Amino acid sequence: MTDGRHLEVVRAGPLTTVQDRGRPGWAHLGVPRSGALDRPALDLANRLVGNPPGAAVLETTLLGTELRAGADLVVAVTGAEAAVEVGGRPATTGAPIGVRRGATLRVGRAVRGVRSYVAVRGGLDMEPVLGSRSTDTLSGIGPAPLRDGRLLPVGEPSGTASAADTGNGPAAPSLGPMTVRVRLGPREDRLTAAALATLATAPFRVSPRSDRVGLRLDGPALRWRDDEEMDSEGIVLGAVQVPPGGGPIVFLADHPTTGGYPVVAVVDPQDLPLLAQARPGTELRLVVGPQR
């Protein structure tokens, strides 16, 4: 970082992590995929600054972050709707932003959605672990969550920032009720008929106990048919697991690779970015049907 190509963390925020597209292919060793929860927002941020798709960015949580540029840099902020400032002046989200050496980039509190993504031209040049720079909050693999005062190295640019993006950007985060498509299985037979009907019709609310491992849903308890124990089975991204208390958990990017409670449904992959931006208290309904 002798040329000053770094970002200094002035204010880390409650959970700001380094993320890229994750590390698939290691589940057989107990390593989750991890990676950005809102993949479309990650990809858009990288396109805007001219990075390759796999470049590492920052993922903030609810309260944003503040960074100081060690050199003249180009950044982009996507994802949750939040006020962005450079050097105390308002800046535009969803577009390349020039940040002069010594200036601060401030990503404020999310007013819609949960997670913002901060890409910098050249990408965050962290040491890859198993082919990814992503922070895995469950296993501790990858860079530690940000702390104030940390210096984040920035790689050399390999592309050109673009003022306009022609790709399919992410949908704007919603403040209202969400509808998420799921497909039943493989263990829906472990629920009572009444519980299955509740799963498909009742409103749930996103619990404040949710995190990158899973989205916990508050609402009517889903009861098992019996208390017979299950052997541990593999868990995939988007799996809807029902533990003994009856409150469903939708597993997200840092999910465990196996579990011993019934997985009764799996979320349509196209709807996973919605869950990444679901705020605590958001009403959520699960619609059962075939995936597109």
pLDDT of residue 292: 44
Residue 144 has pLDDT above 60, yes or no: yes
Q: From CA 170, how far away is CA 292, in angstroms rounded?
A: 18
Q: How far is CA 286 from the centre of its chain?
A: 20
CATH 2.40.100.10 intervals, the chain: 178-288
Q: Which one-letter amino acid corresponds to residue 280? A: P
Which amino acid, residue 229?
Answer: E
Tell me what the mean pLDDT of segment 219-242 comes to: 93
In terms of DSSP bridges, do strands 178-184 and 283-288 run parallel, antiparallel, or are they unpaired?
Answer: parallel
- Among 10-24, 154-168, 236-250, 269-283, which stretch is predicted with the lowest mean pLDDT? 154-168
Residue 161: pLDDT band with limits 50, 70, 90: low
pLDDT class for 290, splitting at 50, 70, 90? low
Q: What does the pLDDT look like over 243-284, one tens digit per residue?
A: 999 999 999 999 999 999 999 999 999 999 999 999 999 999
Helix count (H) and strand count (E) of the chain?
3, 18
Q: How confident is the model at residue 287 (pLDDT cuts 50, 70, 90)?
A: very high
Burial 136-152 (b: 16+ CB within 10 A, else e): bbbeebbbebbeeeeeb
- Looking at residue 23, its pLDDT comes to 96
Pick the CATH number of 178-288 from 3.40.718.10, 2.40.30.170, 2.40.100.10, 3.30.70.260: 2.40.100.10
Residues 48-65 have pLDDT tens digits of 999 999 999 999 999 999
pLDDT computed for residue 167 by the predictor: 59
pLDDT above 90 covers what percent of the chain?
Answer: 87
The mean pLDDT value of the chain amounts to 93
pLDDT at 289: 82
Domain 6-153 has CATH 2.60.120: yes
Q: Does the pLDDT value for residue 234 go beyond 80? A: yes
For the chain, residues classed under CATH 2.60.120 are 6-153
